[in-house]
């Protein structure tokens, strides 16, 4: 299964002349998931769709294919574009269900389950506050005209609850998956930031290799026999010959894993638990000379992103979420490449509008937006 990331914002905290704030989409065979939707998200999303229409025929990002929004935390540069975009989809007569997921703290989770108020100690950026406000402003199934589920998680405790307008929150058995998805799963990744946070991994299941129809035809097998073999069952012919189902399959297609970190300090717990990632899109807010700021605000440097990629055995690292003080991302990239020089890790830096593609054969291509199309 192929996957593609569309990176629509690479700036930390506020927009700059060249960069907008966070917002990405991951497109897989079963649909699309949005990871964060900072200020102006719907404008950037519309621009990316227009680019695809003009320069990449056959590739689309239709809103009806978007099944989930995964928020990494509650800071407004990651969330403030969600509500207006949801209202726009209502104006466009959306009908497809939408799942909205985000992290909260253990304390807030427990308070919500007991029908208590959000604790005063909770951050102003607490997602439970924002979700309730959004619901009060019409972000409900009844007002929007399409099904919406609001899910908050105590990620470390693997506990999830649903915020239902006008009712007490309800704990659910497990984190819901996007409606209709069977071969692809979304999973949270524990991160470390100044507010409750998590990264998000989108993982496709591996699949059997392509069935060798030519070989079956050369052996003059019947349709029933082909179906038997293609289902994975060995077949015994009338003369006693046993045909192995595996002999009629090409090389198994491995699973594909894409991870977007959100805001986090380096080598957060969730990344140490991962064993193999195809593409890691990781924040690199600061350069090495600002390590003290990274430590204070629980962000990451470019070299810290490399160390995180190494600990989770990533094949390719994409740097993003650059400080507004950083004029050119190439400086961050150079530091990261020096750190990664002794390893097999490949590293690139993202610009707004870039696409990162993982093909079915496992090849990874970072396509850079050049104002007149994409190129490697």
Give the per-residue pLDDT at 307: 98
Look at residue 27 in the predicted model and tell me its pLDDT: 98
The Cα–Cα gap between 89 and 207 comes to 34
- For the chain, give the number of residues: 376
- 3-state DSSP assignment of residue 209: coil
Residue 311, CA distances (Å) to 212, 261, 303, 370 in order: 38, 14, 13, 33
Q: What is the mean pLDDT of the chain?
A: 96
Strands 256-260 and 198-204 turn out to be antiparallel
Residue 83 in tokens: 């509500």
- pTM of the complete model: 0.91
Assigned architecture for domain 3-207+349-371: 4-Layer Sandwich (3.60)
Domains of the chain, by residue range, sit at 3-207+349-371, 213-248
- pLDDT over threshold 90, residue 180: yes
Task: Please state the rounded mean pLDDT for residues 177-202.
Answer: 98
Instruction: Give phi and psi for 340, each to the nearest 5.
Output: -95, 0
Q: Where are the alpha helices (DSSP H) in 145-222?
A: 213-218
pLDDT reported for residue 141: 98
* Bridge partners of residue 9, in order along the sequence: 23
The pLDDT value given to residue 151? 99
Q: What share of the chain is helix, strand, coil (3-state, %, to 5)?
A: 30, 30, 45
Written as six digits, the tokens of 223 are 């349709």
pLDDT over 90 at 346, yes or no:
yes
Q: How far is CA 99 from the centre of its chain?
A: 13
State yes or no: pLDDT of 1 exceeds 80. no
Express each pLDDT in 244-261 by its tens digit.
Answer: 888 888 777 778 999 999
Q: What is the pLDDT at residue 322?
A: 98
The percent of residues above 70 in pLDDT, for the chain, comes to 100
Q: Is residue 230 predicted with pLDDT exceeding 90?
A: no
Residue 208 has pLDDT above 80, yes or no: no
Q: 346-349 and 314-320 as β-strands: parallel, antiparallel, unpaired?
A: parallel
pLDDT given at position 324: 96
Confidence band, pLDDT 50/70/90 cuts, at residue 210? confident
Residue position matching structure tokens 């951050």: 123
Tokens read off for 254: 């491995």
Q: What is the pLDDT of residues 31-62, one digit of tens each?
A: 999 999 999 999 999 999 999 999 998 889 99
- Residue 97 structure tokens: 């269900």
- Burial class from Cβ neighbours inside 10 Å (0-12, 13-18, 19+) for residue 353 reads buried
Packed helices 41-55 and 82-91: angle between N→C axes, nearest 10 degrees: 60
- Going through 293-350 in order, the beta strands assigned E by DSSP cover 314-320, 346-349
d(CA 225, CA 231): 10
């Amino acid at each position: 299964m192929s996957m593609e990331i569309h990176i629509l914002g690479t700036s930390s905290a506020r927009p700059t002349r060249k960069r907008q704030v966070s917002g990405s989409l991951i497109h897989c065979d079963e649909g699309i998931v949005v990871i964060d939707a900072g200020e102006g998200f719907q404008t950037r999303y519309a621009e990316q769709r227009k680019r695809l229409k003009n320069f990449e025929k056959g590739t689309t990002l239709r809103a009806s294919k978007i099944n989930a929004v995964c928020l990494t935390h509650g800071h407004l540069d990651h969330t403030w574009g969600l509500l207006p975009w949801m209202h726009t989809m209502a104006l466009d007569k959306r009908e497809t269900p939408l799942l909205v997921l985000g992290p909260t703290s253990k304390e807030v989770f427990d308070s919500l389950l007991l029908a208590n108020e959000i604790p005063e100690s909770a951050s102003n950026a607490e997602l439970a506050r924002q979700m309730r406000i959004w619901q009060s402003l019409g972000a409900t199934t009844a007002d929007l005209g399409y099904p919406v589920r609001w899910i908050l998680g105590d990620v470390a405790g693997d506990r999830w609850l649903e915020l239902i307008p006008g009712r007490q929150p309800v704990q659910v058995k497990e984190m819901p998956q996007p409606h209709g998805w069977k071969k692809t799963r979304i999973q949270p990744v524990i991160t470390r930031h100044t507010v409750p946070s998590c990264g998000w991994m989108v993982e496709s299941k591996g699949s059997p290799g392509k069935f060798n129809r030519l070989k079956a035809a050369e052996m003059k097998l019947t349709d029933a026999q082909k179906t038997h073999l293609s289902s994975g069952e060995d077949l015994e012919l009338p003369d006693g010959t046993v045909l192995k189902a595996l002999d009629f399959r090409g090389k198994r297609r491995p699973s594909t894993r894409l991870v977007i970190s959100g805001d986090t300090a380096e080598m957060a717990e969730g990344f140490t638990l991962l064993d193999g990632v195809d593409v890691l899109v990781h924040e690199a807010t600061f350069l090495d000379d600002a390590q003290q700021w990274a430590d204070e605000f629980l962000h990451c440097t470019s070299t810290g992103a490399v160390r995180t990629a190494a600990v989770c055995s990533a094949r390719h690292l994409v740097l993003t979420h650059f400080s507004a003080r950083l004029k050119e991302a190439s400086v961050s990239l150079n530091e990261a490449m020096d750190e990664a020089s002794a390893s097999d890790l490949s590293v690139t830096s993202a610009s707004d509008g870039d696409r990162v593609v993982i093909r079915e054969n496992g090849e990874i291509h970072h396509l850079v937006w050049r104002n007149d199309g994409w190129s490697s």
